[in-house]
């Protein structure tokens, strides 16, 4: 108890220095948390993938379409419960920087496969009735102020021309980790329009999302689908939704790795600051340490004094940093809008922050504690400043 | 009169551990600051080097990238017949009608399936890109299912060495050569004969038309005429402008993220400098009193402590830049969001980055040392001399 009191008194002796150190820790732990959350956001698509969903695409690359009649062939394969087509639309809403994902989908079967997209029944019926209708996610609707009944014009980059869609439904995510920044409309509408404008590009599908009866048979069914179209004009590649999503992340892996590295650099920066604070503190108190030793306190006691002070400052600063991470992440996620569809602080991020705080607190105290333990009473008592 | 410079130097030397820790923190901030700019510069240089100043690049209107562009044969012929276009050695117009597709190849080592730009080119393509040089093997034969691969591709992908077979588009393509294109985006591409590629991907149209202008000054006139021609739905750009746009999203992302991080991190480093300098002032109160009693002015004291903080910044800045310059040995490759394909580029250090980073480091030291220096200069002589 006395030790704890002494530690706290010591920590508050240089109020300005302690305050500055705590402030530095706060900034560092906060930015560490945000960077980790950015990395998490990168993987959010893969994290939200369901094990019973597969994605079939052209084996050449994602940009090569598949014939629409594959839909029926895939459905006929044993173990397949449902199939839905999806085309990446890549339209521009007003300005290129307003990016959000848009998909032309087989409405009924696709939405049935994604129960995590919660749509009110009346809105769903209205969407299914309207050929030019669209379903938008809650986050997307909030970002651009879309309301049910609004007309949204998109300028196509893959499918030329300006396309107008009427928002008929807004979906909510079943969990905070569900991506609600997407825009869905009818594949039939896209296909009909393409047929009149560029007939040779009609009846083409970007990917098929396949739902299987038994997630345990995913690998076997994937192989069966690919075998069905082997040696045809358009061979397919089928993988689980998770593998498909990770494939995207992997291609930008260099950026993810860079962010990861940088997030640890900030911890090193704050470690340098914290170690400096402790080194200065210990140097100024050499005479006291000598006095304590002269009174009979051992090196262990001095060590725990210094470690205790260092940990106390580190933990206070980090606790404030962790507490601030949540509101700041919320604000940042809202500001970024649809760029990061899911931006939520995960439990593992908080644990990592706490672990970093402990490591910084301990590491910063090592050298000063060693020095204090080794100080000779005579030298210490003689020391000035 | 100023206080001698050696006083400042010796002070930093006496508190070596503190100096190293403070400057080390700043060095890391400068490292991040410089590395991000080097990355951005490397990316820009790669894509700018890709475009030739007197080439034009024609794609479908509002197609953001070559892969989403479609230029049908009739439109391409209209472009080819324009009088501004240069005539090559054989009397043919310097025009390459190209088809660009993406194929997926496994990356060497990790096996990650990665999008690779594959470009089918006409015969004039090599005249249009003089930066391209065959370093191994030979060019592909027109009409044969042969490909040549860029240096980055040959190095980073399995089965892309000269002599091996690549399978895509329902056919097997023999790799007959390897080319080097002066660090431009072509280094991350595979090239083949345009007609062969078009057939295997069942395309009936081109993706883009690249042409040389006899006189680059005629671009605005040509652009105006082609873009208003009712038969055409095309965008005409100088090649350099086109490739610069291709890098914009990635480049903005890198620079915004980097700038935000540097600013936030620098707060930490400045706090470090502030702590150090406050401590320096506190432990030297007696010295400051003595100096003042000897007749040094408040402004000299202020200057000395500011100089000391700034020196800390300089030491940190130099160390950070040394660390960052090592990054020049690293090549990174990532997906370019706009072209949706793999792009390799290097960290590139320029004199401008060196200057800006050092300036940033000095600023950090100066800002961190300002308040402590003011406190030092405002101490009254008597109080300072009395302090122990």
pLDDT tens, position by position, A62-93: 888 899 999 999 999 999 999 999 999 988 99
Query: Distance, in angstroms, between B332 CA and closest chain A CA?
Result: 7
Query: Distance, in angstroms, between B88 CA and closest chain A CA?
Result: 34
Burial A148-186, CB ≥16 within 10 A → b, else e: beeebebbbbbbbeebebbbbbbbebeeeebbbbbbbbb
Query: Distance, in angstroms, between A295 CA and closest chain B CA?
Result: 24
In B81-173, which ranges are continuous DSSP H helix? 125-128, 151-156
> Testing the interface with A: which of B25, B202, B312, B374 to mutate, by most A Cβ within 10 A?
B25
| Cα A368 versus chain centre, distance | 39
Query: Distance, in angstroms, between A380 CA and closest chain B CA?
Result: 16
Sequence-ordered list of residues with C-beta below 8 angstroms from that of B62, at least 6 positions apart, any chain: A92, A155, A156, A157, A160, B235
Work out how many CB contacts closer than 8 A connect A with B: 154
Residue corresponding to tokens 């070596």:
B16
Contact B115 A59 (CB under 8 A): no
CB B48 within 8 A of CB B244: yes
- Enter the tokens of residue B183: 């660090």
d(CA A46, CA A121): 28
- Enter the tokens of residue A232: 């045809």
Q: Please report the pLDDT score of residue B1 as a whole number.
A: 55
Please check the confidence at residue B388 and state whether its pLDDT lies above 70.
no
Chain B positions in Cβ-Cβ contact with residue A254 (cut-off 8 Å):
332-334
| B316: closest chain A residue by CA | A269
C-alpha dihedral (A325, A331, A335, A341), degrees to nearest 10: 70
pLDDT, one tens digit per residue, over B287-331 is: 888 888 888 888 888 999 999 999 999 999 999 999 999 988 888
pLDDT, one tens digit per residue, over B182-191 is: 888 898 999 9
Chain B positions in Cβ-Cβ contact with residue A61 (cut-off 8 Å):
101-104, 115
Chain A positions in Cβ-Cβ contact with residue B257 (cut-off 8 Å):
259
> Testing the interface with B: which of A24, A239, A310 to mutate, by most B Cβ within 10 A?
A24
Please, which residues 217-236 of chain B have a Cβ atom closer than 8 Å to chain A? Answer: 233
Q: Please report the pLDDT score of residue A33 as a whole number.
A: 93
pLDDT band at A319 (very low <50, low <70, confident <90, very high): very high
CB A186 within 8 A of CB A194: no
Please, which residues 250-309 of chain A have a Cβ atom closer than 8 Å to chain B? Answer: 250-255, 258-259, 262, 265-266, 268-270, 272-273, 275-277, 279-280, 284
Closest residue to B24, CB basis, from A27, A258, A272: A272
For chain A, what percent of residues have pLDDT higher than 70? Answer: 99
Q: What is the ipTM of this complex?
A: 0.77
Instruction: Give, for B207, the enclosing helix (H) or strand (E).
Output: none
What are the extents of the domains in chain B?
A: 5-48+248-386, 55-214
- Enter the tokens of residue B181: 């294109």
pLDDT band at B265 (very low <50, low <70, confident <90, very high): confident
Sequence-ordered list of residues with C-beta below 8 angstroms from that of A180, at least 6 positions apart, any chain: A117, A137, A138, A139, A140, A171, A172, A173, A341
Please check the confidence at residue B13 and state whether its pLDDT lies above 70.
yes
Average pLDDT over residues B204-223: 91
Q: Please report the pLDDT score of residue B231 as a whole number.
A: 86
Q: Please report the pLDDT score of residue A307 as a whole number.
A: 93
Residue B194 CB burial class (10 angstroms; 0-12, 13-18, ≥19) = buried
Please, which residues 260-279 of chain B have a Cβ atom closer than 8 Å to chain A? Answer: 261, 264-265, 267-269, 271-272, 274-276, 278-279
Backbone torsions φ then ψ of A76, nearest 5 degrees = -75, -10
Q: Please tell me the least confidently modeled range out of A161-175, B73-87, B107-121, B140-154.
A: B107-121
Chain A positions in Cβ-Cβ contact with residue B334 (cut-off 8 Å):
251-255
d(CA B57, CA B60): 10
Average pLDDT over residues A140-153: 93
Average pLDDT over residues A52-62: 88
Contact A385 B332 (CB under 8 A): no
pLDDT, one tens digit per residue, over B82-127 is: 999 999 888 889 999 999 988 888 888 877 778 889 999 998 899 9
Q: Please report the pLDDT score of residue A66 as a whole number.
A: 93
d(CA A140, CA A124): 17
For chain B, what percent of residues have pLDDT higher than 70? Answer: 99
Chain A positions in Cβ-Cβ contact with residue B39 (cut-off 8 Å):
258
Contact B102 A62 (CB under 8 A): yes
Please, which residues 183-212 of chain A have a Cβ atom closer than 8 Å to chain B? Answer: 200
Query: Distance, in angstroms, between A152 CA and closest chain B CA?
Result: 18
Please check the confidence at residue A212 and state whether its pLDDT lies above 60.
yes
Average pLDDT over residues A150-174: 92
pLDDT, one tens digit per residue, over B155-173 is: 888 888 899 998 887 789 9
- Is B323 in CB contact (< 8 Å) with chain A? no
Residue corresponding to tokens 């009473």:
A377
Chain A positions in Cβ-Cβ contact with residue B28 (cut-off 8 Å):
265, 268-269, 272
d(CA B40, CA B46): 10
CB B86 within 8 A of CB B212: yes
Closest residue to B333, CB basis, from A200, A254, A280: A254
d(CA B69, CA A160): 10
pLDDT, one tens digit per residue, over A321-355 is: 999 999 999 888 887 777 777 888 999 999 999 99
Contact B112 A250 (CB under 8 A): yes
Q: Please report the pLDDT score of residue B70 as a whole number.
A: 86
Average pLDDT over residues A32-44: 89
Query: Distance, in angstroms, between B214 CA and closest chain A CA?
Result: 31
> Testing the interface with A: which of B275, B341, B345 to mutate, by most A Cβ within 10 A?
B275
Please check the confidence at residue A3 and state whether its pLDDT lies above 90.
no
pLDDT band at A384 (very low <50, low <70, confident <90, very high): low
The three-class DSSP label of residue B108 is coil
Average pLDDT over residues A102-107: 94
For chain B, what percent of residues have pLDDT higher than 90? Answer: 37
Contact A247 B31 (CB under 8 A): no
Burial A344-378, CB ≥16 within 10 A → b, else e: bbbeebeebbeebbeebbebbbebbbebbbebeee
CB B105 within 8 A of CB B118: no
Please, which residues 29-58 of chain B have a Cβ atom closer than 8 Å to chain A? Answer: 29, 31-32, 39
- Enter the tokens of residue B156: 């980073």
Q: Please report the pLDDT score of residue A234 as a whole number.
A: 86
Point out which residues pair with B121 in neighbouring strands. Answer: B193
Please, which residues 59-88 of chain A have a Cβ atom closer than 8 Å to chain B? Answer: 59-64
The three-class DSSP label of residue B280 is helix
CB B36 within 8 A of CB B254: yes
d(CA B175, CA B177): 6
Residue B14 CB burial class (10 angstroms; 0-12, 13-18, ≥19) = exposed
Query: Distance, in angstroms, between B49 CA and closest chain A CA?
Result: 22
Q: Please report the pLDDT score of residue A1 as a whole number.
A: 67
Please, which residues 61-120 of chain B have a Cβ atom closer than 8 Å to chain A? Answer: 61-64, 67-68, 101-104, 110, 112-115
Pairwise pLDDT comparison (B276 vs A105), residue with the higher score: A105
- Enter the tokens of residue A380: 């210490």
CB A256 within 8 A of CB A39: yes
- Enter the tokens of residue A381: 């008592």
Q: Is B153 left (phi over 0), alpha (psi -120 to 50) or beta?
A: alpha
Contact A61 B18 (CB under 8 A): no
- Is A27 in CB contact (< 8 Å) with chain B? yes
The three-class DSSP label of residue A12 is coil
Q: Please report the pLDDT score of residue A103 as a whole number.
A: 95
Closest residue to B21, CB basis, from A31, A251, A272: A272
d(CA A49, CA A116): 11
Q: Please report the pLDDT score of residue B200 as a whole number.
A: 86
Closest residue to B334, CB basis, from A31, A255, A277: A255
Residue A264: half-sphere exposure toward Cβ, Cα within 13 Å: 8
Mean pLDDT (chain A, rounded) = 89
Q: Please tell me the least confidently modeled range out of A18-22, B14-18, B83-87, B217-221.
A: B14-18
């Amino acid at each position: 108890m006395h030790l704890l009191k002494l530690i706290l008194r010591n920590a508050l002796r240089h109020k300005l220095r302690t305050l500055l150190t705590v402030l530095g820790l706060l900034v560092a732990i906060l930015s560490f948390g945000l960077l980790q959350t950015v990395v998490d956001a990168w993987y959010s698509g893969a994290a939200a993938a369901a094990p019973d969903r597969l994605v079939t695409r052209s084996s050449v690359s994602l940009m090569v379409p598949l014939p629409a009649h594959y839909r029926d062939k895939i459905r006929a394969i044993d173990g397949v419960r449902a199939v839905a087509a999806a085309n990446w639309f890549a339209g521009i809403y007003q300005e290129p920087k307003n990016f959000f994902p848009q998909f032309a989908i087989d409405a009924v079967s696709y939405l049935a496969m994604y129960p995590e997209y919660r749509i009110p029944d009346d809105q769903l019926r209205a969407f299914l009735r309207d050929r030019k209708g669209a379903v938008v996610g809650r986050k997307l609707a909030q970002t651009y102020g879309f309301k049910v009944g609004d007309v949204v014009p998109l300028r196509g980059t893959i499918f030329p021309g300006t396309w107008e869609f009427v928002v008929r439904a807004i979906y909510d995510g079943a969990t905070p980790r569900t991506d609600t920044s997407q825009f869905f409309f009818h594949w039939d509408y896209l296909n009909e329009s393409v047929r009149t404008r560029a007939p040779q590009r009609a009846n083409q599908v970007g990917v098929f999302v396949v739902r299987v009866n038994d997630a345990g048979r995913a690998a076997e069914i994937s192989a069966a689908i690919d075998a069905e179209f082997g040696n045809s004009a358009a061979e397919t590649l089928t993988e689980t939704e998770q593998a498909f999503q990770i494939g995207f992340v992997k291609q930008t892996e260099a950026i993810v790795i860079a962010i990861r590295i940088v997030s640890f650099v900030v911890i090193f920066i704050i470690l340098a600051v914290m170690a400096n604070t402790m080194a200065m503190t210990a140097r100024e108190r050499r005479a006291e340490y000598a006095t304590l030793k002269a009174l009979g306190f051992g090196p262990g006691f001095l060590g725990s004094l210094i470690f205790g002070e260092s940990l106390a400052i580190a933990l206070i600063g980090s606790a404030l940093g962790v507490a601030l991470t949540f509101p700041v992440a919320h604000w940042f996620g809202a500001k970024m809008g649809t760029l990061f569809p899911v931006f939520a602080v995960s439990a593992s991020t908080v644990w990592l922050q706490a672990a970093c705080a402990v490591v910084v607190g301990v590491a910063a105290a090592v050298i000063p504690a060693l020095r204090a333990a080794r100080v000779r009473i005579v030298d210490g008592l003689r020391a000035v400043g | 009169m100023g206080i001698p410079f050696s006083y400042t130097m010796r002070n930093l030397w006496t508190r070596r551990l503190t100096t190293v820790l403070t400057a080390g923190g700043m060095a890391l901030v400068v490292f991040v600051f410089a590395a991000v700019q080097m990355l951005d510069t490397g990316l820009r240089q790669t894509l700018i080097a890709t475009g030739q100043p007197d080439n034009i690049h024609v794609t479908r209107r509002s197609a953001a990238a070559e892969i989403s562009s479609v230029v049908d044969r009739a439109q391409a012929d209209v472009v080819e017949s324009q009088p501004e276009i240069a005539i090559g050695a054989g009397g043919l117009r310097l025009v390459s009608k190209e088809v660009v597709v993406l194929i997926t190849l496994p990356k060497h080592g990790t096996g990650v399936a990665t999008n690779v730009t594959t470009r089918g080119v006409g015969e004039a393509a090599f005249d249009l890109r003089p930066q391209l040089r065959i370093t191994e093997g030979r060019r592909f034969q027109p009409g044969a299912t042969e490909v040549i691969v860029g240096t980055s591709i040959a190095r980073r992908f399995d089965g892309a060495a000269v002599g091996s077979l690549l399978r895509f588009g329902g056919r097997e393509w023999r790799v007959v050569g390897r080319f080097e294109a002066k660090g431009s985006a072509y280094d991350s591409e595979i090239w083949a004969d345009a007609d062969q590629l078009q057939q295997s991907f069942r395309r009936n149209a081109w993706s883009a038309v690249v042409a040389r202008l006899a006189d680059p000054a005629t671009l605005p006139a040509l652009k105006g005429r082609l873009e208003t021609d009712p038969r055409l739905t095309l965008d005409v750009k100088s090649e350099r402008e086109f490739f610069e746009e291709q890098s914009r999203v990635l480049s903005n992302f890198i620079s915004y993220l980097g700038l935000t991080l540097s600013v936030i991190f620098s707060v930490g480093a400045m706090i470090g400098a502030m702590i150090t300098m406050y401590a320096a002032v506190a432990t030297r109160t007696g010295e400051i009193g003595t100096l003042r009693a000897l007749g040094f002015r408040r402004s000299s004291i202020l200057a000395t402590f500011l100089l000391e903080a700034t020196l800390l910044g300089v030491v940190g800045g130099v160390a950070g830049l040394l660390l960052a310059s090592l990054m020049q040995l690293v090549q990174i490759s990532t997906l370019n969001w706009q072209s949706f394909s793999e792009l390799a580029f290097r960290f590139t250090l320029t004199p401008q980055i060196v200057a800006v980073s050092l300036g940033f480091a000095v600023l950090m030291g100066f800002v961190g040392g300002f308040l402590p220096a003011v406190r030092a200069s405002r101490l009254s002589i008597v109080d300072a001399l009395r302090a122990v």
